[in-house]
Amino acid sequence: MYKDIHRWQVLRNFDPNTTDFARYLGHSMIYEVVQPEPGRFEELDKEDEDELSLESLFYDAEPDTKVATPQDDKRCSLEDDYAKFNRIPQILEDWRMERVCAMERIRLRGAVLSPIRRVPVELWREIFSLFCFSGDQYPISLYSDVMGTTGYYKYKIEKYIGVNARPYTLLSVCTHWHSIVTGIPNLWSSIRIAGHFTLDLSPALDYLLSKSGNSPLTIHISSTYPLQHLHPDNRDNAIQSIKFLAAHALPRCKRFILDRSCCEFMSWERICLSFPALESLETGIPYLSLLEAPVLNHLKISHIHDPPNAIRFPLARLVSLEITNDINLQPLVLQILPLCSALQSLSAPFRLADNPYMNSIAFPDSPKEISSLQNLQIQIMDFRQDLTFLFKYFELPNLSSLEIEVSDSSSSVFIPPVTLARGSDFPTAFYRSVLGLRTLKLLFQDIQYHKSSLGHIADLSGVLTAMPSLTFLEARQQGLSNPQPNRLAALLIPLIVSPHSTMGTIVPKLATLSISYNALLCFNCIPTSEVAVFKRNILAMAESRAQHTQLTELHLGYPGFDTICERHCYDSGISRVFKELEEGMKALGKYGLKFVGRKLELLWK
């Protein structure tokens, strides 16, 4: 009430028609909204009501003496927040319009660009890397000795001459691809020289080396004919090309592949073969004394003729050794392998059964132990005799992977059925070597003269008994002259686990089993009872293993093609039978078994 009386006392001094009256009335209403400090007007009355005037209420005589109250600060803060909130819709609208404009610009630009330019450059880099390093499929022979106006070599395709480099095929597609390809040095790090050397390849090689930067090189040199027998002009071109390569490329070559003819030619022409950075060598030369490679760790060679003291690289650094042709067993095992203290992988053809001199060879008193070797891949002819000869020479206590390929395609020697139970004529070193074996691959290829065909696979249960640590088993049969599905029973039945007792289980830790049966047979001509036994054995083995052992994966390969049989059946029934097997395997998924059925190709590679 006091406020109203005080306001009336002040307002009666003003003319209602004047602006001072309106200003005072509005000012007093604002102060009521923000709740002024209590007693402000009371204090003014106590001092002197006569001094209360319009000027003292609306204006500060001394601006610096005005004191800001907390309510004023709060009011200003709220007003700022309200202003920001009011601006948010406009900001969002501005952003929306910017996005719409940007999308429109992208759409218009994409409509103008070609499909090649729409793909990100990073994706093209990945695609080109996969293309250029995917192997030697579809090689293209290219050569150039003329530099174009754009600064890179033009090229022409010649069928038998040239430098094979996959990036060459990408340069002429468009300028966009050209700029991408020339900016990736490792795409140019693989160089292949092949042909008759009818032209000097030095300019093209120089271009490749300049584009490869400092990337490690992979060089492959081959010739259609022996270089020693080339035409004199072609011979000069070969000398110039190989000398240029030896001087500028070999110092940073990491992998080198060359045939025997090229190496002998380089030796004859006194071209230095020094590889300070070489790690992998693949060659057909038998004379390693021609090469100097201090850091070599992978060697693939046809055969070795040099004694260890003539080899110009440290055998102790070798991690992988692959011999593709015949071997001399005694020098290899007694002289070469003992010096390979770091050797982890060995692949060699130990076809010793057809060697007429093997029976006259004196075996060492005890097998040589190679403790570093973990992976062994061998090609043999006679399962029993070749393995017997082999493990009379060395013992492999840390062997974890063994791959055996049996083939009689090079001879008509009869291969007897395998009966490898413990106590047979296998050396003790064989059983000690396979005791800790985890991976076993058995590949029977091109068996043409063996009348019992699947007898190789059928009698392997004795060998599997000696491998309690085996976790992966692959049995693959190819090239049967007399396919009979019931022969697989001799392998499948021993693998069946009895639910009453698992003590005598063969390979109890087996987790992955792969059986590939790539035989041309006609199920329509086979008695129905044999087909039923064939399917029952596979399903029984898979179910018992899935229930009572650690088997988690089963791979079954079968022919993916039909041929006309002797009785002129156009549908052999292969697909039908194996599809029924796949349906039965799917029901075993409740035990956690993963089944993979795969159609095999006509020829194995």
Per residue in 323-347, pLDDT tens? 887 677 667 777 788 888 899 999 9
Q: Which pLDDT band, with edges at 50, 70 and 90, does 475 fall under?
A: confident
Q: Is residue 38 part of a domain?
A: yes
> Is 444 in contact with 457 (CB distance < 8 Å)?
yes
Tokens of 302: 């046809």
Q: Is residue 76 part of a domain?
A: no
More confident site: 417 or 574: 574
Q: In which residue are the tokens 């992976």 written? A: 375
Counting the structural domains of the chain, the total is 1
Q: Average the pLDDT over each of 119-128, 423-432, 547-556 and give the range with the smallest value.
A: 423-432
> Is 562 in contact with 574 (CB distance < 8 Å)?
yes
- Quick one: DSSP state of residue 333? I
Q: Which pLDDT band, with edges at 50, 70 and 90, does 387 fall under?
A: confident
Rounded CA-CA distance 429/438 in Å is 17
Percent of the chain with pLDDT over 90: 7
Tokens of 529: 């009872």
Q: Is residue 248 part of a domain?
A: no
Q: Mean per-residue pLDDT for 495-522?
A: 76
Q: Is residue 295 part of a domain?
A: no
- Quick one: DSSP state of residue 187? G
Q: Is residue 24 part of a domain?
A: yes
Rounded CA-CA distance 269/239 in Å is 8
Q: Is residue 562 part of a domain?
A: no
Q: Is residue 398 part of a domain?
A: no
Secondary structure class of 203 (helix, strand, coil): helix
Q: Is residue 591 part of a domain?
A: no
Who contacts 556 (Cβ-Cβ below 8 Å, separation ≥6)?
514, 515, 516, 517, 538, 578, 581, 582, 585, 595, 596, 597, 598
Q: Give the model's pLDDT for residue 501.
A: 59
Secondary structure class of 325 (helix, strand, coil): coil
Per residue in 581-594, pLDDT tens? 888 888 888 888 88
Q: Mean per-residue pLDDT for 264-283?
A: 80
Contacts from 43-49 at CB under 8 Å and sequence distance 24+?
Answer: 45/6, 49/9
Query: Does 225 score more than 80 pLDDT?
Result: no
| Mean pLDDT taken over the chain | 72
Q: Mean per-residue pLDDT for 570-580?
A: 75
Of 491-495, 542-546, 554-558, give the range with the top mean pLDDT: 542-546
Query: Does 89 score more than 50 pLDDT?
Result: yes
Segments forming the whole domain that contains residue 51: 2-67
Q: According to DSSP H, which parts of 444-573 are helical?
A: 455-458, 461-465, 489-495, 528-548
Query: Does 279 score more than 70 pLDDT?
Result: yes
Who contacts 287 (Cβ-Cβ below 8 Å, separation ≥6)?
263, 305, 306
